[in-house]
Structure 1
Amino acid sequence: MDIPLEKKRFTKSRMLILGGSILLFAFIVFVIISSSGASKLNVERERITISEVTQGAFQEAIPVNGIVLPITTIYLDAVEGGRVEEKFVEDGAMMKKGAPILRLSNTDLELSLVNQETAVYNLLTQMQIQQNSARQNTINRLNQLTDVKNSLIEAERVYNLNKRLYDKDAIGRQDLIASENEYNYQKQRMELAQQVVAQDSIATNQELSQAQSSYQRTRTALELMRKKVGDLVVKAPVDGRLTSLDAEIGQSKTKGERLGQIDVLSGFKVRVAIDEHYIARIYSGQVGTFSFNGKAYTLEIKKVYTQVTNGRFQVDMHFQGDVPEGIRRGQTLQIRVALSQEKQAVLIPKGGFFQQTGGNWIFKLEANGNTAYRQPIQLGNQNTEYYEVVDGLHPGDKVVTSGYDNYEEIQELVLN
């Protein structure tokens, strides 16, 4: 008799199908959970920078580059245009005040000087002729006055004599009247002659004064012309080093053209270019620091140039205290200019995270140090080393400060 065999409920094929179904269901659940929760990213700990939030002294500062310049620079411009005829020194020479540098020639200017000199000499000759004429005219007037005075004296003598003779009936009344008329006539002539002499003296003095003034003006014009011709020889205005000399024999220079400059070597200053964003926060008296040969030095802003060129403005800074030994004109210095007073603040070291987050959030590590989550933060001022934390972090917290190039959509970092 046959024995019926019991059919197996879990065959090998059913077991495989069941196992596959379970794995598929688990995968689907994992995907659903992963997509519904925060996105994660596994990162190697060695590939990121982890920094600690600290409490410390903070001072807002900006890094700038400055160029060392002489404390004073005197520019040499062509006062008068002309052709370069002679160079007495070369670029870089040490100059004494008044020493000649180069000589220009200007035929028109030199001809004008000759004409001006001729005009002065002609005016002087005319003035001398006028003075002689006035002197001769005065002499003639005085001679006429003397004649009139003599005639008056004679007329007075005759009149007085005739009065005595008439009183003695020696002459007739007609003779007395005639002598009296002559006497009165000569008195009137005397008064008129005196007025003429006085007016002539006044007119002569006025003419001489005007001629003298005209002569002085012409002489002044001549001196100015001589000075202009003298300016064709360019001389050092102060002691110093001649630099940037731009003149060659035969070259033509126009009036006002830059020829070179004299650097006064009694000290140095630093010319600094600063981004226009800070123009409202830069003023005279602010300080900056830099290192030179391992030693720190301090500079102070003395002058602010408010003109903005290519998005930057310039300031002049002078050394406070010692000037570094061996510093040279044209040398570049890296300077930290302080924008605020020193204060206590919560600090984050500067890093690449700021470019992607704008300082609005950062990855903060959990206490176990294996995961990091997004943390909203608020940053304040900054300097060359730190950001000031206004809100969101506390001293002792650890954060990821390296770049976040691939972390825009990531909510959690898993550190391996």
Structure 2
Amino acid sequence: MKKWVGLTLAALLLAGCEKLDQNVQQMKKRFEEEAVVKVKTVKAYTVEQQEGLTQEISGVVSPLKELSLSFGRSGQISRIMVQKGSAVKQGQVLAALDTSLFQQEVTAAQGQVASASIRRAQALQGPEQHELETQRLQVEKARQNAAKAAEEHAQAKILYANGAISKDELDRQALADKQAALQLQEQQIRYDTLRQGADKLEVEAANAAVQQAHVQLSRAQQEAADALLKAPFSGIVASISQTESERTGPGQEVLRLVDTSGWLVTLQVDSSQIGSWQTGKKVIVKAADGSEAEGVTTFVAPVLDTSTGTYPVEVTVRDKAEHWRGGMAVTCVYEVKTEGSLLVPISSVGVAEESYYVMKIDDNSIKKAPVVVGNLYGTFYEVLEGLEPGDQIVSSGLSYVVDGEAVKVADE
């Protein structure tokens, strides 16, 4: 009986040990599984040197030149020489006002110039010979009259002394003598002046008259020129706003001219990219139809446009782009870095206590590493210090990993 009880106890102990061993194995297996589960899976980015990194930004196309054309004065449109879509050359007459009145004004002004020029020529030439001879005769006549008056005055003095004439008669003879002498003096001065040649005051007056006549002629010619609407540059007539026989005025648009020999692409560049843009930099411009053209950066705004929060940039395209139209959207591809640089995604860089860091991956564990960053190129930071080509870093989700944690790389 005791032997049977001992065997039974031994069997129970053996069975218990076997079950305990199974429990231990199960617990060990569960622990290992839990340990595996705790290893986080992360996405990695391998640091490499980048050359010729490009960025793309969308813009809007507009003609190189676009101008609203109007006459310089009021009038009735007599003729429009072009149609919508016409190709015109610089200086070509596009439309005209009724010029009949303007031509009359020009003709009248030309006549005034001719008359003033003749008067000036006469003033410069001085008196003619017959004028000199006539004036000499006038002087001789005045001299004779003066001699006669002087003789009669002398006789009157004798007669008055003898009581033959009154005092009034003597005074009358004295006045006549004085007037004759003055008349001789005036005629002599005029004769001497004619002998000296052209009068300076007359010449100056004649010159002023000629200048004034030329001013009137220039004004009339300008008014006639304002009656013609000419193309300031070669281009395409985009629209015609008025018709023949319609009355128009200064500044009132008659037609619109555009220059499609080149295109201007307007971009709005944010502050993270504006540092890459420089005047004179080449840009590849792509249209939606697949066509491409080379452009040059011709303007980079020095200040921020507060209404958009961006910097306006202009790219001029001189290449032929026949299928392009004003207002169409294009994509500009530009190179942001030409020399080799280490660039990492923005999502792989963290900020702690005003310094930057990345999470390096080394032997299936991560390590927090400080870095010094440079410029921001689109969605990439330039790393100046702290990384080497070939380093692996966590590409995103930095808030879900900690320094020293075991990780498993999913992909790059």
**TM bracket (short chain):** 0.5 to 0.7
Equivalent in the alignment of 1:75: 67
Matched, 1:410 2:386: no
C-alpha displacement of 1:396: 1.5
Equivalence map 1:347-366=2 (5 Å)? 347-348=343-344, 350=345, 353=348, 360-366=356-362
Cα distance in 1 for partners of 2:339, 2:264 equals: 28
State, as a whole percentage, how many aligned pairs show the same letter: 13
State the Cα deviation string for residues 212-245 of structure 1 (Å, max 9, x = none): 45444433333333333x14xx33233x331432
What SS does the corresponding residue of 1:245 show, helix, strand or coil? strand
Using a 3 Å threshold, how does the CA distance of structure 1 residues 188 and 92 change in structure 2: closer, same or farther?
same
Equivalence map 1:38-77=2 (5 Å)? 41-42=40-41, 48=43, 50-54=44-48, 56=49, 58=51, 62-65=55-58, 73=65, 75-77=67-69
Which 10-residue stretch deviates more, 241-250 or 290-299?
290-299
Contact map agreement 1:371 1:415 (CA 8 A) in 2: no
Contact map agreement 1:302 1:318 (CA 8 A) in 2: no
Contact map agreement 2:61 2:264 (CA 8 A) in 1: yes
C-alpha displacement of 1:345: 3.0
Contact map agreement 1:61 1:383 (CA 8 A) in 2: no
Aligned residue among 217, 223, 226 for 1:225: 223
Structure 2 gap ranges (5+): 160-169
Cα distance in 2 for partners of 1:262, 1:158 equals: 90
Give TM-score, length-normalised by structure 2.
0.58
What SS does the corresponding residue of 2:399 show, helix, strand or coil? coil
Cα distance in 2 for partners of 1:217, 1:255 equals: 22
Cα distance in 2 for partners of 1:353, 1:95 equals: 57
Cα distance in 1 for partners of 2:89, 2:292 equals: 35
Equivalent in the alignment of 1:284: 279
Cα distance in 1 for partners of 2:78, 2:103 equals: 23
Aligned residue among 317, 341, 345 for 1:345: 341
Question: What one-letter code is carried by the residue in structure 2 that aligns with 1:313?
Answer: P
Give TM-score, length-normalised by structure 1.
0.57
C-alpha displacement of 1:101: 3.0
Cα distance in 1 for partners of 2:282, 2:298 equals: 10
Matched, 1:263 2:263: no
Matched, 1:96 2:110: no
Matched pairs, number: 364
Using a 3 Å threshold, how does the CA distance of structure 1 residues 305 and 78 change in structure 2: closer, same or farther?
farther
C-alpha displacement of 1:378: 3.8
Using a 3 Å threshold, how does the CA distance of structure 1 residues 395 and 52 change in structure 2: closer, same or farther?
same
What SS does the corresponding residue of 1:63 show, helix, strand or coil? strand
Question: What one-letter code is carried by the residue in structure 1 that aligns with 2:312?
Answer: F
Equivalent in the alignment of 2:387: 393
Matched, 1:149 2:139: yes
Using a 3 Å threshold, how does the CA distance of structure 1 residues 359 and 242 change in structure 2: closer, same or farther?
farther
Using a 3 Å threshold, how does the CA distance of structure 1 residues 114 and 144 change in structure 2: closer, same or farther?
same
Cα distance in 1 for partners of 2:393, 2:157 equals: 144
The alignment yields a C-alpha RMSD, in angstroms, of 6.3
Contact map agreement 1:64 1:272 (CA 8 A) in 2: no
C-alpha displacement of 1:400: 3.8
Equivalent in the alignment of 2:184: 190
Equivalence map 1:374-393=2 (5 Å)? 375-383=369-377, 387-393=381-387
Using a 3 Å threshold, how does the CA distance of structure 1 residues 290 and 315 change in structure 2: closer, same or farther?
closer
Contact map agreement 1:61 1:336 (CA 8 A) in 2: yes
Question: What one-letter code is carried by the residue in structure 2 that aligns with 1:151?
Answer: K
Equivalent in the alignment of 2:166: none
Question: What one-letter code is carried by the residue in structure 1 that aligns with 2:387?
Answer: L
Equivalent in the alignment of 2:167: none
